[in-house]
Chain A
């Protein structure tokens, strides 16, 4: 393959961000626009002050030109995240969050922190969440099995982060474990 080594192991975080940018999000437009066809579909019409659902990339684009306000998704607020952080710290399992929450939260925090309530608090909660969940996937390494790995509620960014070395470790374990059925 002609891809550089760093891109072979797994998808890169910016690529995941790009994928997450396809998701629809609510905005309050400040300009009006007819229904417009894009490659991924037709979005609009934008009629201020009515809310509209557009893909995240479009919301970001409009926001950068100061032509809309982004309405934060229902999970991107202090109460919700705090609740989940508490769950995360009290339970063994991963709490269920939207699959691409890391990417979406980061994009919104980057471009539209003025549309959020208390963005600094959200930022620090996101960090705490990430650390709590990372500690759990670290625990998971201890019990790594050669043949299977189940990742309930792990989000895309986390899966992507652990993928290269989990896969490599599992493939080594497959070599080292002699009879896969013996310990079963």
Chain B
């Protein structure tokens, strides 16, 4: 998860929509809301992609609330048990929960940003161990066993953020429930464990 200009993940994360409440009448911009109205009326609520919301919020034309994926309900669920929250279900396609959170973090006030940063990094840390454990477990099973496993583990894997699991993976599909960011970690750990296993088991010295 980097916020490089060329990073597809960053672009996807920025494409999430947030709800903005406009503070002024804005004539001629009704198409932003996707409706057929010509103007944006004061106090109307419109879903705006976050890359556009930056400017609008900074220019003080609108304000917004912390979106649902980072609401106190999710916060409490994470506090209770970080591993059981299906993070990528919370955000739309791509499942970039951390990336989305990070973009929000950059807009909100210091105090809120600190709070969000704590939530995001704590969630990531708490889930990391489970991600790596599973990755190693799967590496040990080998490719064949990857399909069948306990339900809890599977549910968790599907709920990973894409940061947690790599995107182009075979396990990944449209309904993936793991945030993208952690998917990458999952795959790196799995690949690493696999290589070690291969090396440890290969004791054929005749090739030398």
A contact set with B: CB distance below 8 Å: 6, 9-10, 12-14, 17, 60-61, 64, 106, 109-111, 138, 141-142, 144, 146, 157, 161-165, 168-169, 171-173, 175-179, 182
Partner of A172, one of B114, B124, B205: B124
Q: Assuming A9-B192, A168-B184, is B128 touching A179 (CB within 8 A)? A: no
B98 lies within 8 A of A138 (CB): no
Residue of A nearest to B196 (CB): A161
* B2 with A171: CB separation less than 8 A: yes
The secondary structure that dominates the A interface is helix
A172 to B185, CA, bound (A): 10
B139 → A minimal CB distance (Å): 11
Number of A-B contacts (CB under 8 A): 94
Do A176 and B199 have beta carbons less than 8 Å apart? no
B208 at the A/B interface (Cβ < 8 Å)? Answer: yes
Closest chain B residue to A183 by CB distance?
Answer: B118
Task: Give chain B's interface secondary structure class.
Answer: helix
How far, in angstroms, from A157 to B195 measured CA to CA in the complex? 11
Tell me the complex Cα distance, A138–B129, Å.
7
Chain B residue contacts of A176, Cβ below 8 A: 98, 101-102, 117, 120-121, 124
The 4 tightest CB contacts between A and B, nearest first, are A13-B199, A178-B117, A164-B188, A165-B189
Note all chain A residues with C-beta closer than 8 A to B133.
Answer: 138
The contact string, 1 if C-beta is below 8 Å from chain A, for chain B 128-144, is 11001101000000000
> A13, A175, A178: which contacts B113 (Cβ < 8 A)?
A178
